[in-house]
A and B are shown apart, each in its own frame.
Chain A
Amino acid sequence: MKATKFFHAPVIRDELESLKTGDTVYLRGSIITARDAAHRRIYQLLQEGKPLPIELKDQAIYYAGPCPARPGLVIGSCGPTTSSRMDVYTPLLLECGLKAMIGKGPRSARVIESMVKHGAVYLAAVGGAGALIASCIKKVEIVAFEDLGPEAVYRMEVEDMPLVVAIDTKGNNLYEMGPRQFRRS
C-alpha cells in the first residue's frame, strides 16, 4: 500500500497525474453513476451523434445502482458493480473526455490501452461495502434515464469515499501486480 491522498471530482488534471497504482485515495466532490443499461444508451447516443443528457468531460463515473432510500436517508446501499461489463462501451466514453471510473474488478486490455491514451484512472471501491459507501454520499439527484429505475443516472456529492487506485494513467494494473505478488503456486 502506498500513499493516502485526497482526490477531487470532476477531476483536476494535476491530481489525476499524481495518482499511482496502489495509492489509497479519498474521493470528494461530484460524480455520476451509470451501469449497464445507461452505458448502452449513452453509447448509442454517441454513435448516432446525438446530444448526451450528461457531460462526460473531466467527469468521474461510478458503476453503481443503489437501493432505494429509506425515508430520512439520502440513499440506500450503494456499492460498486462489476466494471468489466462496461468494458465494451468504455473506450468511446474515454474519447469523449471521461477521466475517472469507479467500480470493482479488472478491466480489459482494450480499456487500459484507451485509458493510457486519454490519461484516465480506474479506482476500485470495495464491492459489498454498500452501506459504508452510502454513508459517504451526501446528496443525490437523478439527472438522466429515470425510467431505468436502479439503473438511472444519478449525480452524487461524495465525501471521503474510500478507494484504491487500481489502474493509473500509465496503465499500471493492480489486478495483475497484486495477485502476482501473493501467488504461491
Chain B
Amino acid sequence: MREIHVSKITDTVAHLCIEACYNLGDDVKALLQKAMQWETSPHGKNILGQLLKNLSIAHELQLPICQDTGMAVVFLEIGQDVHIVGGDLYEAVHEGVRRGYAKGYLRKSVLSPITRINTGDNTPAVIHTEIVPGDKLRITVAPKGFGSENMSQLKMLKPSDGLEGVKEFILQTVIDAGGNPCPPIIVGVGIGGTMEKAAYMAKKALLRPAGQHSPDPIIARLEEEMLHAINDTGIGPQGLGGTVTALAVHIETYPTHIAGLPVAVNIQCHAARHSQALL
C-alpha cells in the first residue's frame, strides 16, 4: 500500500483553491476567444472583450477572476492501493479549503441553510470520493459560484417523454435561466441512473476540459445539437442578446430503471474553474 499523509492533501487542496480562482483554464479561455469571432451582437462582443480583459487583470494583480469564489466542490479519486495516514481525510480537505480561502483572499460564502450565519472560513467543502484502480490520489477542486448553481434543475422524466423530452428539458432549463447565470455558460447534463446519480453526473460533466465531446459518438452528436439549439435562443452574453449563449454542452449518461428517465442540468458560468493535482 502506498501511503499518503493528510498534510500533503491539505497543502494541495489549499493551493488548488487559489489556483482555480485566480487563473481560468486555457480550455475556457480558448472558447471565450473563439466566441469573440462568432458573436455578432456589439454588446455581446464588448462583454466578451471585458471578460478576456478581466482574466489578464486578475492574473496581473493576483485577484480572483470572480468575487463569487464559490462553495468548494472537491473530487477525490482514491486509488484502491492508497493508504491515507496521519488523520481524517475529510478534515484534511476542509482544512485545505480553510487555508486556501484565507491565504488567497477569497470570499467566504458558506453559511448555515437554517440560520444563514456564515461559517467564516468557507468550510465545509462538498466532497465527492470515488475509489479507482491504482496507487494514486487525484484531487480536483472546482469552486462553484451560485449565480449559475441556482439556475440548475433536475427532473424525473417519464420513459414516454423519450429523448425529445430530454432535449426539451435541457433547453427549457437554459431559457428559464436566461441572463441570470452569467452566460456564456457551460451546460453539464446527467441522463439516467437515479436522482442523485443524474445530479452527480451533471456536476462531473463540468470537469471535462471545456468543449471536449463525449467519447460516445451518439452523445457527442447530442452535445453538438444541444449547443446549437441553446445558441439559437438569442440569450447571448449576460442575457443582453447575442449569438453565444453557451460555450459547450457536456453530457454524461448511465443506465436507468425501466420506469424512469432522470435528467439533471447543472449550469456553469463562464468562470468554469477546476484545478487538479495527482498525488
| Residues of A near any B CB (own CB < 8 A) | 1, 22, 24, 37, 64-70, 73, 76-79, 81-82, 84, 104-106, 124, 126-132, 134-135, 148-150, 162, 164, 166, 174-175, 177-185
Closest Cβ neighbor of B235 among chain A residues: A179
A-B contact pairs, 13 of them (CB 8 A): A66-B107, A67-B67, A67-B69, A67-B105, A105-B239, A128-B271, A130-B68, A131-B64, A132-B57, A150-B118, A182-B236, A182-B243, A183-B232
Interchain CB contact under 8 A, B240 and A174: yes
Q: Knowing A24-B46, A130-B67, A178-B41 are in contact, say whether A183-B233 is a contact too (CB < 8 A).
A: yes
Q: A106-B179, A178-B241 are in contact. Are A66 and B234 (CB under 8 A)?
A: no
- Using Cβ atoms and an 8 Å threshold, which residues of chain B touch A183? 232-234
Scan residues 50-109 of chain B and give those whose CB is less than 8 A from a CB of chain A. 50-51, 53-55, 57-58, 61-69, 105-109
Q: Is the CB of A81 within 8 A of B63?
A: no
Known: A135-B57, A162-B50, A183-B234. A66 touches B240 (CB 8 A): no
Known: A81-B147, A126-B54. 10 other contacts (CB 8 A): A68-B107, A76-B105, A105-B239, A126-B47, A128-B271, A130-B66, A174-B43, A175-B240, A177-B241, A178-B239
Q: Which residue of A lies closest to B229 (CB)?
A: A185
Cβ contact within 8 Å between B232 and A179: no
Q: Within the complex, which residue of B42, B105, B147 is in contact with A70, where a contact is CB–CB below 8 Å?
A: B105
Q: Which partner residue on chain A sits nearest B184 by CB separation?
A: A128
Does B150 interact with chain A (Cβ within 8 Å)? yes
In whole Å, how far is B249's beta carbon from the nearest beta carbon of chain A? 16
Q: Across the interface, which residues of B come within 8 angstroms of A1, CB to CB?
A: 42-43, 46
Question: Across the interface, do A132 and B62 meet the contact criterion of CB distance under 8 Å?
Answer: no
User: B147 to chain A: closest CB distance in Å?
Assistant: 5
Determine the main DSSP class of B at the interface with A: loop
Q: Which residues of B contact A (CB under 8 A)?
A: 40-43, 46-47, 50-51, 53-55, 57-58, 61-69, 105-109, 116, 118, 120, 147, 150, 178-182, 229, 232-236, 238-243, 269-271
Q: Across the interface, do B67 and A79 meet the contact criterion of CB distance under 8 Å?
A: yes
B241, A134: Cβ atoms closer than 8 Å:
no
| Nearest CB in chain B: distance from A4 CB, A | 10
Question: Which residues of the partner chain B approach A79 to less than 8 Å between Cβ atoms?
Answer: 66-68
Q: How far is A76 from B241 in the complex, measured between Cα atoms in Å?
A: 29
**What residues on B are CB-neighbors of A104 within 8 Å?**
147, 179-180, 182, 238
Residues of A with C-beta under 8 A to B57: 131-132, 134-135
Q: Which residues of B contact A135 (CB under 8 A)?
A: 57, 61
Kindly identify which residue among A68, A132, A177 contacts B50, using a CB–CB cutoff of 8 Å.
Answer: A132
- Docked CA distance A68–B10 (Å): 22
Contact A164 B67 (CB under 8 A): no
